[in-house]
Structure 1
Amino acid sequence: MSRKGNCYDNACIESFHSIIKRELVYLSRFETRKQAQQSIFKYIECFYNKRRVHSSIDYCTPCEYEQLFYESLSPVA
């Protein structure tokens, strides 16, 4: 059930949860649930996707890698 590519494999999201807990949740104290939600949203949208490099995608940010992907699809003039 835990083979690679199996729809029941949670390794990817478990890795993400581990990272967000280490880099944000355990280092912060939230007074309200809304404050926690806003902080997590800001972390994902402003830091994780736009500035944090990932070794699995050639040390690019997810936004840069997505941009490179779409550029590779466009026909060369």
Structure 2
Amino acid sequence: MKVEIIYGEKFNSLQEIKSCIFEYTEVFHNRVRQHSTLGYVSLYEYEAIYA
């Protein structure tokens, strides 16, 4: 996460940092990023299939 969203960014407040981290986690990491341990599907897709 540090390399993908935080490195090189300039934040003006703690709230901006929190929003950026939340967006990364909820939008990219859970819904888009493919995880090799889950058979190269996102966490969101994995839960939809196996829940």
Count of matched residue positions in the alignment of Structure 1 and Structure 2: 51
Structure (1 or 2) with the larger CA radius of gyration = 1
| TM-score w.r.t. length of structure 1 | 0.61
Give the CA deviation at 1:42.
0.5
Give the unaligned 5+ runs of structure 2.
Answer: none
Give the CA deviation at 1:27.
3.7
| TM-score w.r.t. length of structure 2 | 0.88
Give the unaligned 5+ runs of structure 1.
Answer: 1-19, 71-77
Runs of 4+ aligned residues of structure 1 deviating over 3 Å after TM superposition are none
Q: Identity over the aligned pairs, expressed in percent?
A: 33
Q: CA RMSD in A?
A: 1.0
In structure 2, the residue corresponding to 1:24 is in which secondary structure?
Answer: helix
